[in-house]
Structure 1
Amino acid sequence: MLPTIARRLFHLQELALGRQSFRILDELRASEHWPVERRRQLQLERLQAMVRGAYEHTRYWRELMAAQGIQPGQIHTLDDLRRFPLLEKHTLRERREDMVWREEGKRLQLVRTSGSTNEALQFYTSSTREAHINAARMRGHEWVGVRRGEKELYYWGSPVELSKQDRVKRVRDWLINDGLTNGFEVTPARLKENFAAWLSWRPKCIFGYPSTFVLTVTMAEALGLELKELRQHGLTVIITTSEMLSDVDRQLITEGFGVPVRDSYGLREAGLIGHECDQGTMHCMDEQLILETIDPATLQPTDGEGELVVTNLVGPAFPVIRYRTGDIVTLAQEPCACGRTLSSIKISGGRAVEFVVTRDGKWVVGYAFIYIARSVAGIVKFQVVQEKLGAILIRLVVDERFPSDGIDLVKHKAAQRLGSDDDIQVEIVDDIAPARSGKYRPVISKVAEELHKNRAFSG
Structure 2
Amino acid sequence: MIPFIARNIFRFQETLLGRPSFQILHELNKSQWWSRDQLEKLRSDRLNVLIHTAYSHTPYWKALMDSHKITPADIRTVKDLQQFPLLNKDTLREKREQMVWKEEGKRVQLVRTSGSTNEALEFYTSSSREAHINAARMRGHEWVGVRRGEKEMYYWGSPVELSKQDKIKRFRDFLINDGLSNGFELNKDRVQEYVSHWMAWKPKCLFGYPSTFVLTVSMCRDMGIDIGALKDRGLEVIITTSELLSDVDRNLISKAFGVPVYDSYGLREGGLMGHECDRGTMHCMDEQIIFETVDPETLEPTACEGELVVTNLVGRAFPIIRYRTGDIVTLSQKKCACGRQLSSIKISGGRAVEFIVTQTGKWVVGYSFIYIARMVKGIVKFQVVQEKLGEIQIRIAVDARFPENGKNQVRELARQRLNSDDKILVEIVNDIDPAPSGKYRPVISKVAEQLYKERSFS
Correspondences of 1:25-44 after superposition (within 5 Å): 25-44=25-44
Name the CA distance, whole Å, in 1 between partners of 2:218 and 2:289.
37
Name the CA distance, whole Å, in 2 between partners of 1:448 and 1:76.
50
Asked if 2 retains the 8 angstrom alpha-carbon contact of 1:218 and 1:452, the reply is no
Corresponding residue SS for 2:385: strand
* Superposed CA offset, 1:191-232 (max 9, x none): 111110000000000000111011100011101111101100
Please state how far the C-alpha of 1:59 moved relative to its aligned partner: 1.1
Give the counterpart letter for 1:160 in structure 2.
V
Residues 435, 123 of structure 1: alpha-carbon distance in 2 compared, 3 angstrom cutoff: closer
Residues 408, 273 of structure 1: alpha-carbon distance in 2 compared, 3 angstrom cutoff: same
Correspondences of 1:433-444 after superposition (within 5 Å): 433-435=433-435, 439-444=439-444
Corresponding residue SS for 1:342: coil
Residues 115, 148 of structure 1: alpha-carbon distance in 2 compared, 3 angstrom cutoff: closer
Residues 437, 139 of structure 1: alpha-carbon distance in 2 compared, 3 angstrom cutoff: closer
The residue aligned with 1:14 is 14
Please state how far the C-alpha of 1:445 moved relative to its aligned partner: 1.8
Give the counterpart letter for 1:205 in structure 2.
C
* Superposed CA offset, 1:297-317 (max 9, x none): 111110000111100111111
Please state how far the C-alpha of 1:357 moved relative to its aligned partner: 1.1
Moved more, 116-125 or 279-288: 116-125
Correspondences of 1:117-266 after superposition (within 5 Å): 118-266=118-266
Name the CA distance, whole Å, in 2 between partners of 1:36 and 1:42.
10
The residue aligned with 1:452 is 452
Name the CA distance, whole Å, in 2 between partners of 1:47 and 1:346.
24
Corresponding residue SS for 2:360: coil
Q: When the two structures are superposed, what TM-score results if normalisation uses the length of structure 2?
A: 0.96
Corresponding residue SS for 1:112: strand
The residue aligned with 1:293 is 293
Percent identity of equivalent pairs = 69
Please state how far the C-alpha of 1:172 moved relative to its aligned partner: 0.7
The residue aligned with 1:60 is 60
Name the CA distance, whole Å, in 1 between partners of 2:73 and 2:380.
40
The residue aligned with 2:283 is 283
Asked if 2 retains the 8 angstrom alpha-carbon contact of 1:52 and 1:72, the reply is yes
Give the counterpart letter for 2:420 in structure 1.
S
Corresponding residue SS for 1:87: coil
Unaligned residue ranges in structure 2 (runs of 5+): none
Residues 171, 76 of structure 1: alpha-carbon distance in 2 compared, 3 angstrom cutoff: same
Name the CA distance, whole Å, in 2 between partners of 1:102 and 1:202.
42
Please state how far the C-alpha of 1:32 moved relative to its aligned partner: 0.6
Name the CA distance, whole Å, in 2 between partners of 1:435 and 1:42.
38
Name the CA distance, whole Å, in 2 between partners of 1:440 and 1:8.
40
Give the counterpart letter for 1:115 in structure 2.
G
Name the CA distance, whole Å, in 2 between partners of 1:213 and 1:347.
19
Name the CA distance, whole Å, in 1 between partners of 2:89 and 2:440.
17
Give the counterpart letter for 1:129 in structure 2.
R
Name the CA distance, whole Å, in 1 between partners of 2:72 and 2:427.
50
Asked if 1 retains the 8 angstrom alpha-carbon contact of 2:120 and 2:373, the reply is no
Corresponding residue SS for 1:124: strand
Residues 90, 32 of structure 1: alpha-carbon distance in 2 compared, 3 angstrom cutoff: same
Corresponding residue SS for 1:196: helix
Give the counterpart letter for 2:71 in structure 1.
Q
* Superposed CA offset, 1:171-205 (max 9, x none): 11111101011111111111111110000000000
Residues 342, 412 of structure 1: alpha-carbon distance in 2 compared, 3 angstrom cutoff: same
The residue aligned with 2:393 is 393
Corresponding residue SS for 1:349: coil
Name the CA distance, whole Å, in 2 between partners of 1:385 and 1:47.
43
Name the CA distance, whole Å, in 2 between partners of 1:431 and 1:56.
36
Please state how far the C-alpha of 1:433 moved relative to its aligned partner: 4.1
Asked if 1 retains the 8 angstrom alpha-carbon contact of 2:264 and 2:276, the reply is yes
Corresponding residue SS for 1:273: strand
* Superposed CA offset, 1:249-276 (max 9, x none): 1111111111111000000111100000
Asked if 1 retains the 8 angstrom alpha-carbon contact of 2:59 and 2:98, the reply is yes
Asked if 2 retains the 8 angstrom alpha-carbon contact of 1:397 and 1:431, the reply is yes
Name the CA distance, whole Å, in 2 between partners of 1:98 and 1:169.
35
Please state how far the C-alpha of 1:436 moved relative to its aligned partner: 5.6
Name the CA distance, whole Å, in 1 between partners of 2:375 and 2:6.
36
Moved more, 371-380 or 49-58: 371-380
Name the CA distance, whole Å, in 2 between partners of 1:317 and 1:396.
31
The residue aligned with 1:79 is 79
Q: When the two structures are superposed, what TM-score results if normalisation uses the length of structure 1?
A: 0.96
Give the counterpart letter for 2:457 in structure 1.
F
Name the CA distance, whole Å, in 1 between partners of 2:436 and 2:300.
25
The residue aligned with 1:421 is 421
Give the counterpart letter for 1:249 in structure 2.
D
Residues 430, 16 of structure 1: alpha-carbon distance in 2 compared, 3 angstrom cutoff: closer
Give the counterpart letter for 1:393 in structure 2.
Q
Residues 429, 101 of structure 1: alpha-carbon distance in 2 compared, 3 angstrom cutoff: closer
Please state how far the C-alpha of 1:348 moved relative to its aligned partner: 1.0
Please state how far the C-alpha of 1:78 moved relative to its aligned partner: 3.1
Give the counterpart letter for 1:7 in structure 2.
R
Name the CA distance, whole Å, in 1 between partners of 2:121 and 2:407.
23
Name the CA distance, whole Å, in 2 between partners of 1:228 and 1:31.
37
Asked if 2 retains the 8 angstrom alpha-carbon contact of 1:117 and 1:370, the reply is no
Name the CA distance, whole Å, in 1 between partners of 2:180 and 2:435.
33
